[in-house]
Amino acid sequence: MNDTERLAEVREKLAITQHDDEILWAMREIRFFLRSQNCSIKTVLEYGVDGGGNLALMANLIDSDGLMIGVDLAITEGRSAAIEAVAQRKVCLLNRSSIDPETTKLIATMVPGGIDVCFFDSLHTEEQLDNELEQALTLISRPAVLAFHDIGIGTQRHNVNGELVPSTSIFWDKIRKDERFDGYDAKVANKEGRCGIGLLWLEKGKEAR
What pLDDT is attached to residue 17? 66
What pLDDT is attached to residue 209? 42
Give me the CATH number covering residue 29: 3.40.50.150
Residue 207: inside a domain: no
Give the C-alpha separation, 113 to 125, whole Å: 29
Stretch 21-27: mean pLDDT, rounded? 87
What pLDDT is attached to residue 146? 98
Domain membership of residue 65 as a residue range: 3-202
Cis peptide leading into residue 143 (ω within 30°): yes
What pLDDT is attached to residue 194? 56
Q: How many domains does the chain have?
A: 1
Average per-residue pLDDT for the chain: 89
What pLDDT is attached to residue 100? 97
187 vs 97 pLDDT, higher one: 97
pTM of the entire structure?
0.93
Helix (H) or strand (E) segment spanning residue 72: none
Residue 59: inside a domain: yes
% of the chain with per-residue pLDDT over 70: 93
